[in-house]
C-alpha cells in the first residue's frame, strides 16, 4: 500500500474535457475556414488572412510559453464573465454564418477564445494575452462596401505619387484617376496593390514588430505606430513604381504574370525595411534615456516551460466542457436553421425584351459612346457575369439630338458577398472623378410615386457625365453599400433571399451648369421607361415604393 502511494507523484490530467472543447471549436470553425480559403482568402484583397491567422496562433503559443516559464499564468477563473463573452461570440457566429457576414462569423473566434480564457483563467490572464486576440482582427475580411469607400483616396494618392516620380525620372506616363498610362500600356491601381487591405496588413506587421521588440520607451512606440501609415503609403508606392517599370520595359505579360505576384514581396520587404530603419533611428534618439525592459515581456526567444505545465493548462472540469460543447453544437444548428433560401424559382429573365425600342420621344440608336462598366474587379475587368443575371445597356436619342445612355442590371439573389455595385464606386475605378453626389427623390415610380435615388456628376476619360440612378433590393431602395447590406441582412433573418436591380441613366454634358437640366431629362425618361416596360419582366420599382437609407 505504501509502495503504491509512493509512485503517485502528481495527479493525472484527464484529457477528455479539453478534447471536448477542442472538438467543439473544430466543428464550429473548420467549415468557416474552408469557405474562407475557397472564398475571401483566395483573392488578392484578403490573401494576408491565412498568414495573419498562423502568426496570431504562433504568437499566442509564444506568449503562453513566456507566461508559464515566468509563473505568471495563474488560474483565477471568472466563469460568469467568461460565459457571457462566450455567448456573445456564439451569437455572433450564428448571425455571421447564417447571413454570410464575415465580420461577425470570423470575428466570433476572438470572442469565443477570449471567453474560454476568461472563464478558465480570469481577466488578468486575458490582459496578458490581449495582443494575440487583437492581432486576429487583421485576418477578418472587411466588407467590400467599406473597403471600396475607404480605399479610393489611398489608391488615388499612390497613383499620383507614382506618376510624379516616374515623370520626374523621364518616363512617358500619364494618369486618369487610378489608371496609369506608361508608354503603350495601361495599369489600373487595384485595391490589392494600394488599398486599405494592404494598409491593414502592414499595420499588423508593424504592431507585431513592436510587440515582439517591446521597447520600454513610450515616445518611441507611439511615434513608430503613427509612422506605419506613411510607411505603408511609401511601400505601396514602391510596389506600383516597380510594376510600372516592369510593364514598361518587359511588357504587359511580365507585369501581370509572375512579376506581379513578386511585387507583393517587394511591398512587404520594403515595409519591413522601412519599419526597421525608422525604429533604428528612433532607438538612436532615445537610447540614452536608460529605461529598462519589463522582465515579464522582454525575452524574444522561446522560454523553457517546466515539465507538466502544458498538461495542467488544459486541466478543465468535465461539466463546463460538456456545456461549452453543447453550446457550440446548438450554434451550428441555429446557424443552419437561420440560413436564408430562395423561396421560389425566379421567372425567366425578360429585361432585354421588356425594354422597348422607343421610350416616349426617345428612340433606340446604335451605341455611339462607350458606357462605364457596371461592375469591375480589382484588376479593372468586368464582373457583370458574376454579379448580374441579366444586363441591358442601350443608347436612346430624342428629336433635339440628346443621347441618353441606359443601363439596367438585374440579379435574382442579393447576398452579402454578391450584391449590386454602385456607380460612385465603379466610375472612379475606371478613371472618373466623382464631382458631386447627392441623394434625390425621383418621381419615376408608378403614378409618379417617388423613389429614393441619387444624382451624380463624374468627370474623366475626356468627358463629363450627369448620372441618375436608383437601386432596388426586394421592396426597398438602399442607396448606399451599407444600406444594401442591412437590407439583405434583415431579409436574411426572415429566411428570404430577395432580388435586386440597378437602373442607371446618364447624359454627356459640357460642364456642371448643364447637369440640372440633364437630371430633369433623365427623370422624365426613366418615369416613361417604368410606365412602358412590358409586364412579366423583373420590376424596375417595387409595387409600393419605400424610402430607405
Task: Please tell me the predicted confidence (pLDDT) of residue 11.
Answer: 46
Pull the grid cell for residue 16.
477528455
- Asked whether 376 and 431 are in contact (CB, 8 A), the reply is no
Task: Please tell me the predicted confidence (pLDDT) of residue 347.
Answer: 58
**Confidence class for position 366, pLDDT limits 50, 70, 90:** confident
Distance CA 283, CA 217 (A): 9
- Asked whether 342 and 413 are in contact (CB, 8 A), the reply is yes
pLDDT digits (tens, 9 = 90+) for 228-242: 778 778 877 887 888
pLDDT digits (tens, 9 = 90+) for 267-318: 666 777 777 777 777 777 766 555 444 444 444 455 565 555 556 666 778 8
CA angle 29, 107, 329 (to 5 degrees): 35
Residue pointed to by grid coordinates 503517485: 8
Pull the grid cell for residue 495.
429566411
- Torsion from C-alpha of 383, 386, 392, 394, nearest 10 degrees: 10
Task: Please tell me the predicted confidence (pLDDT) of residue 216.
Answer: 61
More confident position, 258 or 115: 115
Distance CA 377, CA 247 (A): 20
- Asked whether 540 and 529 are in contact (CB, 8 A), the reply is yes
Radius of gyration over alpha carbons of the chain, in Å? Answer: 28
Q: Which of the 8 DSSP states describes residue 530? A: H
DSSP string, 297-364: T---SPPPPPTTHHHHHT---HHHHHHHHHHHHHHHHHHHHH--B-SSPPPPP-HHHHS-SEETTEEE
Q: Where are the beta strands (DSSP E) in 143-212?
A: 173-176, 179-182, 185-188
DSSP string, 431-458: T-EEEEEEEEEE--SGGG--EEEEEEEE
More confident position, 168 or 224: 168
Question: Residue 303 phi/psi, 5° resolution?
Answer: -75, 165
Whether pLDDT at 172 is above 50: yes
Query: Among 549, 534, 464, 452, which Cα is nearest to 506's?
Result: 464
Task: Please tell me the predicted confidence (pLDDT) of residue 454.
Answer: 94
Task: Please tell me the predicted confidence (pLDDT) of residue 316.
Answer: 73
Distance CA 273, CA 291 (A): 25
Strand partners, 407: 393, 504
Task: Please tell me the predicted confidence (pLDDT) of residue 249.
Answer: 85
Task: Please tell me the predicted confidence (pLDDT) of residue 303.
Answer: 58
Helix axes 79-99, 318-338, angle to 10 degrees: 20
**Confidence class for position 150, pLDDT limits 50, 70, 90:** low
Distance CA 396, CA 344 (A): 35
Distance CA 201, CA 53 (A): 12
Average pLDDT over residues 469-490: 88
Q: Are strands 500-509 and 463-473 parallel, antiparallel or unpaired?
A: antiparallel
**Confidence class for position 195, pLDDT limits 50, 70, 90:** very low
More confident position, 420 or 220: 420
CA–centroid distance for 19 within its chain: 34
Distance CA 174, CA 182 (A): 7
Question: Residue 439 phi/psi, 5° resolution?
Answer: -65, 150
More confident position, 354 or 266: 354
Strand partners, 35: none
Whether pLDDT at 40 is above 70: yes
More confident position, 343 or 479: 479
Q: Please state the domain extents for the chain.
A: 12-142+298-338, 144-195+216-266+273-289, 351-532
pLDDT digits (tens, 9 = 90+) for 520-544: 999 999 999 988 886 566 688 876 5
Whether pLDDT at 129 is above 90: no
Distance CA 518, CA 523 (A): 9
Task: Please tell me the predicted confidence (pLDDT) of residue 49.
Answer: 80
**Average pLDDT over the chain, rounded to an integer:** 78
Task: Please tell me the predicted confidence (pLDDT) of residue 437.
Answer: 93
Q: Which of the 8 DSSP states describes residue 544? A: S
**Confidence class for position 3, pLDDT limits 50, 70, 90:** very low
More confident position, 167 or 138: 167
Point out the least confidently predicted range of 51-55, 67-71, 373-377: 373-377
Contacts of 549 (CB under 8 A, 6+ apart): 452, 477, 478, 479, 480, 482, 483, 486, 487
Distances (CA, A) of 173 to 183, 239, 453, 461: 7, 16, 38, 16
pLDDT digits (tens, 9 = 90+) for 239-255: 788 888 888 888 877 76
Residue 231: exposure state from Cβ atoms within 10 A (0-12, 13-18, ≥19): buried
**Confidence class for position 470, pLDDT limits 50, 70, 90:** very high
Q: Which of the 8 DSSP states describes residue 284? A: H
Distance CA 70, CA 128 (A): 12
Q: Which residues are annotated as catalytic?
A: 193, 239
Task: Please tell me the predicted confidence (pLDDT) of residue 548.
Answer: 46
pLDDT digits (tens, 9 = 90+) for 481-507: 888 888 888 888 888 888 889 999 999
Task: Please tell me the predicted confidence (pLDDT) of residue 213.
Answer: 67
**Confidence class for position 453, pLDDT limits 50, 70, 90:** very high
Distances (CA, A) of 463 to 133, 370, 393, 421, 456: 49, 11, 19, 22, 14
More confident position, 169 or 43: 169
Strand partners, 460: 463
Distance CA 452, CA 443 (A): 9
Task: Please tell me the predicted confidence (pLDDT) of residue 385.
Answer: 53
- Asked whether 459 and 515 are in contact (CB, 8 A), the reply is no
- Asked whether 363 and 397 are in contact (CB, 8 A), the reply is yes
Average pLDDT over residues 342-354: 66
Question: Residue 16 phi/psi, 5° resolution?
Answer: -60, -50
**Confidence class for position 474, pLDDT limits 50, 70, 90:** confident
Strand partners, 413: none
Task: Please tell me the predicted confidence (pLDDT) of residue 33.
Answer: 92
More confident position, 377 or 265: 265
Distance CA 405, CA 522 (A): 9
Question: Residue 375 phi/psi, 5° resolution?
Answer: -155, 135
Amino acid at each position: 500500500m505504501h509502495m503504491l502511494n509512493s509512485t503517485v507523484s502528481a495527479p493525472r490530467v484527464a484529457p477528455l474535457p479539453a478534447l471536448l472543447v477542442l472538438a467543439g471549436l473544430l466543428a464550429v470553425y473548420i467549415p468557416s475556414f474552408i469557405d474562407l480559403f475557397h472564398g475571401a482568402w483566395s483573392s488578392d484583397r484578403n490573401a494576408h488572412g491565412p498568414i495573419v491567422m498562423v502568426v496570431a496562433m504562433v504568437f499566442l503559443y509564444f506568449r503562453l510559453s513566456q507566461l508559464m516559464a515566468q509563473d505568471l499564468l495563474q488560474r483565477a477563473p471568472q466563469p460568469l464573465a467568461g460565459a457571457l463573452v462566450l455567448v456573445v461570440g456564439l451569437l455572433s457566429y450564428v448571425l455571421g454564418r447564417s447571413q454570410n457576414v464575415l465580420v461577425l462569423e470570423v470575428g466570433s473566434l476572438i470572442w469565443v477564445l477570449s471567453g474560454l480564457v476568461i472563464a478558465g483563467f480570469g481577466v488578468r490572464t486575458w490582459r496578458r494575452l490581449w495582443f494575440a486576440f487583437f492581432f486576429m482582427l487583421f485576418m477578418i475580411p472587411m466588407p467590400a462596401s467599406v473597403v471600396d469607400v475607404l480605399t479610393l483616396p489611398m489608391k488615388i494618392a499612390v497613383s499620383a505619387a507614382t506618376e510624379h516620380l516616374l515623370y520626374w525620372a523621364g518616363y512617358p506616363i500619364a494618369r486618369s484617376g487610378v489608371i496609369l498610362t506608361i508608354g503603350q500600356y495601361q495599369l489600373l491601381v487595384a485595391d490589392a496593390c494600394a488599398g486599405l487591405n494592404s494598409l491593414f496588413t502592414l499595420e499588423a506587421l508593424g504592431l507585431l514588430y513592436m510587440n515582439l521588440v517591446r521597447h520600454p520607451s513610450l515616445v518611441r512606440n507611439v511615434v513608430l505606430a503613427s509612422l506605419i501609415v506613411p510607411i505603408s503609403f511609401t511601400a505601396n508606392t514602391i510596389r506600383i513604381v516597380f510594376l510600372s517599370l516592369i510593364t514598361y520595359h518587359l511588357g504587359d505579360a511580365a507585369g501581370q504574370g509572375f512579376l506581379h505576384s513578386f511585387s507583393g514581396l517587394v511591398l512587404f520587404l520594403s515595409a519591413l525595411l522601412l519599419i526597421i530603419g525608422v525604429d533604428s533611428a528612433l532607438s538612436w534618439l532615445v537610447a540614452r534615456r536608460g529605461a529598462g525592459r519589463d522582465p515579464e515581456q522582454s525575452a524574444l526567444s522561446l522560454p523553457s516551460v517546466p515539465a507538466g505545465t502544458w498538461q495542467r493548462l488544459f486541466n478543465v472540469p468535465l461539466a463546463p466542457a460538456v456545456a461549452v460543447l453543447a453550446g457550440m453544437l446548438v450554434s451550428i444548428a441555429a446557424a443552419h436553421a437561420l440560413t436564408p433560401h430562395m423561396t421560389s424559382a425566379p421567372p425567366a429573365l425578360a429585361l432585354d425584351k421588356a425594354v422597348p425600342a422607343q421610350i416616349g420621344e426617345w428612340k433606340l440608336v446604335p451605341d455611339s459612346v462607350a458606357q462605364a462598366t457596371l461592375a469591375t474587379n480589382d484588376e479593372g475587368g468586368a464582373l457583370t457575369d458574376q454579379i448580374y443575371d441579366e444586363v441591358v445597356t442601350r443608347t436612346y436619342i430624342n428629336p433635339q439630338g440628346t443621347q441618353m445612355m441606359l443601363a439596367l442590371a438585374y440579379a435574382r439573389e442579393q447576398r452579402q458577398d454578391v450584391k449590386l455595385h454602385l456607380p460612385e464606386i465603379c466610375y472612379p475605378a475606371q478613371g472618373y472623378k466623382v464631382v458631386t453626389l447627392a441623394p434625390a427623390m425621383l418621381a419615376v415610380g408608378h403614378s409618379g410615386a417617388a423613389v429614393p435615388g441619387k444624382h451624380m456628376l463624374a468627370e474623366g476619360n475626356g468627358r463629363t457625365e450627369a448620372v441618375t440612378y436608383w437601386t432596388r433590393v426586394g421592396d426597398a431602395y438602399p442607396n448606399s453599400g451599407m444600406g444594401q447590406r442591412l437590407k439583405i441582412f434583415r431579409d436574411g433573418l426572415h429566411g428570404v433571399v430577395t432580388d435586386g436591380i440597378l437602373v442607371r441613366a446618364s447624359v454627356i454634358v459640357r460642364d456642371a451648369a448643364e447637369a440640372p437640366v440633364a437630371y430633369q431629362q433623365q427623370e422624365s425618361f426613366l418615369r416613361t421607361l417604368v410606365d412602358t416596360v412590358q409586364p412579366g419582366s423583373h420590376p424596375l420599382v417595387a409595387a409600393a415604393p419605400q424610402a430607405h437609407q
